[in-house]
């Protein structure tokens, strides 16, 4: 299979107005995807979106493209990515589509596809869509054009699903929870889920205007949620990203709890409750402290390549049920079929409600190793990664850090960046080598 031109690690993404995120291209994408995903035109495709302003434009372009290919469309409106995956399977749709750039700023957007089972598309199907894009894309006869309608109760259906993932009999009554929806797709869902489960909810990031998604809020910037938790005396803070597939938590003292710590809490609960199967799956970015803490409890841990898609693939290969990333993509396969920020938060809240323990107490058994992550602007990130000078510096740093250290160079799958990660037991040494490697990488990128 040749190199794909448009699909990256998480669908198609880019800056609005630049290829591939132009209305003309997205119209053609809808036509091509319709031909590949529903060639007989007998099914229907669900389309959801987050709250960024360009979503209206791309929704219309996709709608027209699918209709021209003879495929029916059901519009969901603003809806979290995991909700679209769930509803695609529930409605037995031919495919699900999300218009979102996840945690990126409003000026970016993207297209993600789900199969009829709610899974990400295979590489082969993505390649077939790209091949179709390169060929002629005439419309079907007007009598066969796809019809379009709107699903008005989509949010209510997903709210009920989220509530059902909490163990029967568990209530959040008496809990005071602050939730930051990042002015994104969960703004009309997450507060209702928590309220209906009995919690007192302090909501923020729930006034989207098309431009403020992920802007100084949500899981990308939890500082405002930290302040809100402290000021309002909340037991917990929940920080979601723009499309609702990531979550970070804030404990009652205002400390941020990342995806690794969430995995630790859930792994021990799964183990206690008999829910655990297979190893916990993290990524190359997962903190060494998580691996060590799980080993102390006899829990296996495997690392996948970065990206929730790779975590999912390894989970299924190893027959596991729990995995995720430090950024807050948490996958509970016995509850849902994709990373889901609301569902992951509910699993932690369920542990707190059932045990009466605070979040800081639940994560106390895991000590995080010092870790530095520096993003280096690098349009040709892979060439920089392989540069002999940078590779020599990496070898020297690894020797200095010893067996308790890790170094990872990773080109971003969504931005022109090289991510430089250094981890080890000595915080000063970690900072020193991270700064040195980032500086050398920047020089190589500029050369």
How far apart (Å, rounded) are the C-alpha atoms in residues 97 and 61? 13
Burial class (CB in 10 A: 0-12, 13-18, 19+), 124: exposed
Paired strand residues for 53: none
At residue 227, the 3 state secondary structure works out as helix
* Whole-number Å distance between alpha carbons of 203 and 205: 7
Tokens describing residue 260: 């690794």
Phi, psi of 344 (to 5 degrees): -60, -45
Q: Which residues contact 317 (CB under 8 A, 6 or more apart)?
A: none
Catalytic residue among 100, 102, 204, 286: 102
The structure tokens 């400390």 sit at 255
**Helix (H) / strand (E) containing 48:** strand 44-49
Q: Which of 242, 224, 244, 243 is nearest to 234 (CA)?
A: 224
User: Which stretch of DSSP H or E encloses residue 343?
Assistant: helix 341-355
Q: Is 102 a catalytic residue?
A: yes
Residue 311 contacts by C-beta under 8 Å, 6 or more apart in sequence?
Answer: 281, 282, 283, 304, 323, 324, 325, 329, 331, 339
Handedness of CA 53, 58, 63, 64 (dihedral sign): positive
Contacts of 391 (CB under 8 A, 6+ apart): none
Tokens of 79: 């809806």
Q: How buried is residue 65: exposed, middle or buried, by Cβ count under 10 Å (0-12/13-18/19+)?
A: buried
Where residue 375 falls (left for φ over 0; alpha for ψ -120 to 50; beta otherwise) is beta
| Tokens standing for residue 439 | 């500086």
Where in the sequence numbering do the catalytic residues fall?
A: 102
């Amino acid at each position: 299979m040749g190199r794909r031109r448009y699909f990256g690690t998480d669908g198609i993404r880019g800056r609005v107005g630049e290829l591939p995120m132009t209305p003309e291209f997205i119209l053609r994408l809808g036509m091509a995807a319709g031909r590949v995903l529903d060639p007989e035109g007998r099914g229907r495709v669900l389309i959801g979106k987050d709250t960024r302003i360009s979503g209206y434009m791309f929704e219309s372009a996709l709608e027209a493209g699918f209709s021209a290919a003879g495929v029916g469309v059901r519009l969901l409106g603003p809806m979290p990515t995991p909700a679209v995956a769930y509803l695609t399977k529930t409605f037995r749709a031919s495919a699900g589509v999300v218009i979102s750039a996840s945690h990126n700023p409003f000026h970016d957007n993207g297209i993600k596809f789900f199969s009829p089972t709610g899974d990400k598309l295979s590489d082969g199907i993505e390649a077939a869509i790209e091949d179709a894009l390169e060929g002629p894309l005439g419309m079907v006869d007007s009598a066969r054009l796809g019809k379009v309608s709107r699903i008005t109760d989509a949010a209510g259906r997903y709210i009920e699903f989220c509530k059902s993932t909490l163990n029967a009999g568990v209530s959040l009554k008496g809990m005071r929870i602050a939730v930051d929806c990042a002015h994104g797709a969960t703004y009309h869902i997450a507060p209702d889920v928590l309220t209906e489960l009995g919690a007192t909810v302090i909501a923020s990031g729930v006034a989207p205007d098309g431009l403020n998604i992920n802007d100084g809020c949500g899981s990308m910037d939890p500082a405002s949620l930290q302040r809100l938790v402290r000021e309002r005396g909340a037991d917990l803070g929940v920080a979601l990203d723009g499309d609702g597939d990531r979550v970070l938590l804030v404990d009652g003292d205002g400390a941020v709890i990342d995806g690794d710590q969430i995995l630790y809490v859930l792994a021990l609960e799964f183990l206690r409750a008999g829910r655990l199967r297979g190893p916990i799956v993290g990524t190359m970015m997962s903190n060494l402290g998580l691996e060590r803490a799980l080993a102390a409890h006899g829990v296996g841990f495997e690392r996948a390549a970065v990206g929730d898609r790779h975590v999912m693939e390894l989970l299924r290969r190893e027959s596991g049920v729990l995995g995720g990333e430090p950024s807050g993509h948490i996958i509970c396969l016995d509850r849902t079929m994709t990373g889901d920020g609301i569902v992951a938060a509910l699993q932690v809240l369920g542990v707190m409600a059932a045990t009466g323990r605070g979040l800081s107490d639940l994560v106390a058994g895991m000590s995080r190793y010092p870790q530095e992550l520096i993003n280096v602007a690098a349009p040709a990130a892979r060439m920089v990664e392989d540069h002999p000078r940078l590779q020599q510096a990496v070898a020297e740093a690894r020797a200095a850090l010893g067996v308790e250290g890790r170094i990872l160079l990773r080109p971003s799958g969504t931005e022109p960046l090289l991510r430089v990660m250094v981890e080890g037991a000595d915080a000063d040494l970690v900072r020193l080598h991270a700064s040195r490697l980032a500086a050398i990488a920047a020089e190589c990128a500029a050369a």
